[in-house]
Structure 1
Amino acid sequence: MFSRIVFILFLFLMSLVSCHSSHSPKSKTAAEILGNPNFQAICYGGYRQNTREITPTLEQVKEDLSILSAMNIKIIRTYNVHLPEVEVILKAITALQKEQPEFEMYVMLGAWIDCKNAWTNQPVDHFQESERNEKEIAEAVRLTQLYPDIIKIIAVGNEAMVKWATSYYVQPEVILKWVNHLQALKKSGKLPKELWITSSDNFASWGGGTPDYHTNALNELIKAVDYISVHTYPMHDTHYNPAFWGILEEEQSLSEKQQIEKAMLRARDYAINQVEAVQKYMQSIGVEKTIHIGETGWATSCHHFYGKNGSKATDEYKSAIYYKMITKWCDQNKMSCFYFEAFDESWKDAQHPEGSENHFGLINLQSEAKYALWDMVDKGIFKGLTRDGKPITKTFGGNESELLKNVQLPAKLHQATLTQ
């Protein structure tokens, strides 16, 4: 009799497990989701204010993730694991999975890495690392152990090796040390074996730029990571290296829209060229690894280098063209593109509201979809969804003529030469 009762209890428990699993999305691996067009990626931060001291609430993050999910985005990238927002994001995904069994969202977790005395009044030392790095990595490990079905990638550092990051950059040896540490935790079973480890950095840092980056430590790092996460920003180089930017003399007879599209095509090709430069260097040291774009984007406003008083690159029209061109190319080449970024965030350049860093989002702080997403609004993708109580509407009231008044032609370009 007793054994029969035990057997019945066993069947009952198994039915509960079966019921639970049927209502939970099957967790996929990084290998399955990266490069898969059905799993679009994006960089996400949910801060509404001009400071990160005000963390978005669980409900606010759930709103944001629901909007992104409606856009078919299923992988988001974060930056600083020591800030409370990251755990709010993980809790929000967990809550949405319970509320909506079909909801699916994964995380590329960024661990911030910098050098000794970074962000202090002391002289920075690029050859020693900050004491904080160990805590950042430890927190990344803790969160991954708590949320193994959500966190699929850990990125050691965010533009941490590129030499123009003079406030904080480190040598590749530092990144290699922590990548090896995380890979060892995978081997020991303390982290999931299918977790992917990378570093998310500028194309030059991965060997695609000048020879001074070509070091033994970088070569070892390329061998140690599971894939290479490359950042490329042609928008920035419309000011810093504008060899590709502008209107060719033979294009002057085209309509203004056609002239801009030609210029944006060169900008896209400039980004592709940087990615291919990384691939070429990687192959030159005898390595074959997958490459995905960890960041690229195009701001919609700027008061300085990239706006009407600068390279005339930033507006919603050009941004939409770049977004669609680069995501289409990535999909065709089975490459994930963590587009920068989902929503505008005003803390990035709090002293300058019109600074370009505040305006990379596809949706602004008034819950308005920028031009790149107008077609999604028309299709009803955001129907029933709100951000801070506001429905997702179009910028410029959906009036394309008003939007185009803000669009300026770049200067004449005498020769198009794609260079890094």
Structure 2
Amino acid sequence: MGLTNAICYSGFRSGQHPDRGDGAINPSYEEILEDLKILSYNSNFKLIRVYDSGENSEMVLKVIKENNIDIKVMLGIWLSAELSNHKNCEWLDSIPDEVLRNNKALNLQEINNGIRLANEYPEIIVAVNVGNEALVDWTDHLVNVDTIISYVKLVKKSINQQVTVAENYKWWANHGSALAKELDFIAVHVYPIWENKDIDEGMSYTIENLLEVRNALPKSRIVISEAGWASLASEFGDRASEEKQLQYINEMASFTKEMNITTFIFEAFDEEWKGDPGNLMGAEKHWGLFTVDRKPKKVMGELYSHLNEKR
């Protein structure tokens, strides 16, 4: 995809959320436009990643096109569970076979939506990602790797854009060889803070992770599809802070620029809907470079001082 400033984007604000079984409350056209104007300001971010091919992602593409915003997109195709992974996830109940069969039908519908969008927006969508962390042993939306390979082949023959799958670095290093052969590049997630690393080890551990993948899959081109540092988290204690987020993002930017690796920072805006609704300090809610009310954190302070006046 080429070297560029890239970021993961999900625009759900306070009171909004994707479909969790009772329907979604999506951002409005105007809210998405505001977000994209923030991200594209002064060409700070020219490439975003969205995670599915549903109504909200289609609206993002529509806003970009109708407003001639200088942003390209890596489109997601979200895969729901086709296997019940309750034995590996203590918090997950066994998923009934009927639900799994229905999920497979939904996945095929999602794939068709992704193919349609890729063909409708060829000037905006530069790559399509089939499945996000659907292969790791701790996922609640497990899909068999051979099934994902078949989905990748279907998508590749139906569109002109590059096709990938996004997974944790350890899965790629240990299990990724067959899938990697089918892809234009591999999309890798690295999160040192989740592996009990503090900021003094954050970047060195990230490099170790990437080298592990490179050594296992030397012929595959690597794109970092998620990397970030939480600014607040009850799970991480003082390892999470805006100062440490600033340091990690800056170190990551320097390294990936030197190594010419396209990197999607996770993520643009904090998302209150994620994680435990009873824990406002939960890590899942605080990865954004901007707060949920669209104010820049320290990592973005200099670039967006005009947004910080009322903070």
Query: Is 1:75 paired with 2:47?
Result: yes
2:129 equivalent to 1:171: no
Whether 2:308 is the aligned partner of 1:335: answer no
Aligned residue for 2:134? Answer: 160
Residue 363 to residue 69, structure 1, CA distance change in 2 (3 Å): same
- Aligned twin of 1:393: 308
The alignment status of 1:375 with 2:302, answered yes or no, reads yes
Superposed counterparts of 1:214-225, under 5 Å: 214=175, 218-225=176-183
Residue identity in the other structure for 1:306: F
Q: Give yes or no for the alignment of 1:41 onto 2:6.
A: yes
Q: 1:345 aligns with which of 261, 271, 279?
A: 271
Percent identical pairs in the alignment equals 30
Correspondences of 1:108-187 after superposition (within 5 Å): 108-116=74-82, 122-123=94-95, 130-165=104-139, 167-185=140-158
Query: Residues 21-420 of structure 1: matches in 2 within 5 Å?
Result: 30=1, 34=2, 36=3, 39-50=4-15, 51-52=17-18, 53-70=24-41, 72-82=44-54, 84-97=55-68, 103-116=69-82, 122-123=94-95, 130-165=104-139, 167-185=140-158, 191-192=159-160, 195-207=161-173, 213-214=174-175, 218-238=176-196, 245=197, 264-283=199-218, 288-303=219-234, 305-307=235-237, 312-349=238-275, 350-378=277-305, 383=306, 392-393=307-308
Structure 1 runs not aligned, ≥5 long: 1-29, 98-102, 186-190, 208-212, 239-244, 246-262, 384-391, 398-420
> In the TM superposition, what is the alpha-carbon distance from 1:118 to its structure 2 partner?
5.7
| Separation in 2, partners of 1:143, 1:221 | 24
- Kindly state the Cα deviation for residue 219 of structure 1 after the two structures are TM-superposed: 2.2
Q: d(CA) in 2 for partners of 1:40 and 1:372?
A: 14
* TM-aligned CA deviation for residue 61 of structure 1: 0.8
* TM-fit CA distance, 1:265: 4.1
1:130 CA drift (Å): 2.9
For 1:125-171, what per-residue CA distance to the aligned partner results, in whole angstroms no more than 9, with x for missing partners? 8x997332111111100111111111111111011111111x22223
Of structures 1 and 2, the larger Rg is shown by: 1
Moved over 6 A (4+): none
* CA drift at 1:297: 0.8
Mapped to 2, the partners of 1:150 and 1:289 lie a distance apart of: 24
What is the alpha-carbon distance in structure 1 between the residues aligned to residue 143 and residue 82 of structure 2? 9
In the TM superposition, what is the alpha-carbon distance from 1:122 to its structure 2 partner? 4.5
User: What TM-score do the two structures reach when normalised by structure 2?
Assistant: 0.88
What CA RMSD, in Å, does the superposition of the two structures yield over aligned residues? 2.2
Q: Which secondary structure state, in structure 2, belongs to the residue aligned with residue 116 of structure 1?
A: coil
Q: Provide the rounded CA distance (Å) in 2 between the counterparts of 1:320 and 1:296.
A: 13
Per-residue deviation, residues 181-233 of structure 1 (Å, max 9, x unmatched): 12222xxxxx22xx1000011011212xxxxx43xxx4221111000110000
1:80-132 per-position Cα deviation (integer Å, ceiling 9, x unaligned): 212x21011001101221xxxxx41111011111332669965368x997332
In structure 2, C-alpha distance between the alignment counterparts of 1:221 and 1:87, rounded to whole Å:
27
